[in-house]
Each structure stands twice: as C-alpha cells, then as structure tokens.
Amino acid sequence: MASIHSWERKTSIPLAALAVFYLAIYSFEVLIDAHGATKSTLESISNIIWATFWADYVIRFALAPRKFAFLRANLLEMSSLVLPAIRAFRMLRVLTAFNQISQFATSKAARVNLFLFASLPLIFFMCALGILDVERHASGSTIQSFGDAVWWSLTTIATVGYGDLYPVTISGRLIAAVLLFTGIGSMSLITANVASWLSRNLGVRNHVHEAQRSEQSDS
C-alpha cells in the first residue's frame, strides 16, 4: 500500500496546477461578472476541482498512520475545504495545494516562511476578488470595481482601514475578518522572523569577537 509521503510527492505539483487553474476560472468569473450559461459552466468546473481537492484530502487521511496528528497538522487545509461551502469563502479553495507544497521545506520555520511568502499575496488577491463578488450588486455597496476591491484589500490587510470603502453584506464582513486576521498574523510572523535573524547574526558576531579577543590574549 502506498505511503502518504509517496502520494504527496506524486500529487503536489498536479494539485498546485489545478489550484492555479481554479484561481484563473474564479478570477474570470468575477471580473467579467458572469451570468447565465457562462456562470453555470464556470461554477461546474470549479465544483469539480473542489471535489478533486476533497478526494485528495480523504485519500491522504486514509493513508496517514496517525489520523489525529494528520487532522491537527492540516487544520488550515480542512478549513479551506469546508468553508468554501459558504459563498464568501469560495476563494479559499486555492489554498488547499499550498499545504502540500510547503512540505518540501526542510524545517518547520522554513515551511512557515514558504507558506507565508507564497500565500500572503495570493490571499490578498483572492480577498479582493471575493469582496467584489459579494459586494458589487449589494444595496448601498461602496465596492463597485476591481480597483475598489484591491484598494480595500490593501488597507484592510495593512490594518489601516480608512473607511472610504467598506463591506455592507455579512459575506463581505466575513471576508474582511479573514483578511484582518491574516494581516495581523503576517505582521507577527514577519516581526518574529526579523527578530530571529537579528538574534542569529548578533550571536555569530559576538562569537567571532570573542574568538578574536581570545586569540589576541593568547598571543
């Protein structure tokens, strides 16, 4: 029977390509404001891709020797599979492949950094699409174009929030919450990484200086 690691090595790249394809379909659907048969076709393709992600998750769960550890290690992926059943979170489907890609990192810190720098721009873009999708036709909405959505996404992820653009729907506010927590969490990770880098470099310099002083005192 195949191991979970063997399965992930074989499927990571195809699933990543499928995720990019999904993002392209979703972007096209939102940006052209698809209706009728076009929208139905795009939705059907998106749902097939989502079902593929679900199938992969179930197979990996079945192959995992420690089921609880697998669930705990893949909470984000599970969320990105479950939450898109809610319209506001359909853009999260594309994140399902990033958990597997990050497994190629050699350490936990490298894995976190890879996921952070790969997913942060993606979450920014997807939330801009998502907010436009749910707000564009809402009564009293201030977000009417992709430019508005990008500006709103930028000010929200930076936790600035000028108040010139804001969601009026429940779905839009849920997306705003995701983006706010992403921004806060990302700033915390970046700060921790910078602090860790400074600590390592200062430690190396101190070690070098101590070695030099020891050599001088011996001579």
Domain with 93, as residue range(s), is 1-104
* 190 and 148 co-located in one domain: yes
* 89 and 157 co-located in one domain: no
The domain that holds 89 is classified in CATH as 1.20.120
* 140 and 217 co-located in one domain: yes
Q: DSSP character for 87?
A: G
* 186 and 135 co-located in one domain: yes
The b/e string for 174-191 (b: 16+ C-beta within 10 A; e otherwise) is: bbbebbeebbeebeebee
* 174 and 86 co-located in one domain: no
Q: pTM to 2 decimals?
A: 0.72
**Which among 104, 133, 168 is the end of a domain?**
104
* 87 and 188 co-located in one domain: no
* 180 and 152 co-located in one domain: yes
**113 C-beta neighbours (distance < 10 Å), count:** 16
Q: Which helix (H) or strand (E) holds 36?
A: helix 36-63
* 162 and 63 co-located in one domain: no
Average pLDDT, stretch 176-187?
Answer: 80
Residue-wise pLDDT for 78-119, tens only, equals: 777 776 655 556 656 666 666 555 555 555 556 666 666 667
**Which among 57, 81, 104 is the end of a domain?**
104
Round the average pLDDT of the chain to a whole number and report it.
Answer: 78
Q: Please count the structural domains in the chain.
A: 2
The domain that holds 174 is classified in CATH as 1.10.287.70
**Which among 74, 104, 134 is the end of a domain?**
104
* 91 and 112 co-located in one domain: no
Distances (CA, A) of 26 to 38, 69, 73, 74: 12, 32, 28, 24
Residue-wise pLDDT for 31-60, tens only, equals: 999 889 999 999 899 889 888 888 988 998
Strands (E), the chain: none
CA dist 5 and 9 (Å) reads 6
* 75 and 134 co-located in one domain: no
* 138 and 84 co-located in one domain: no
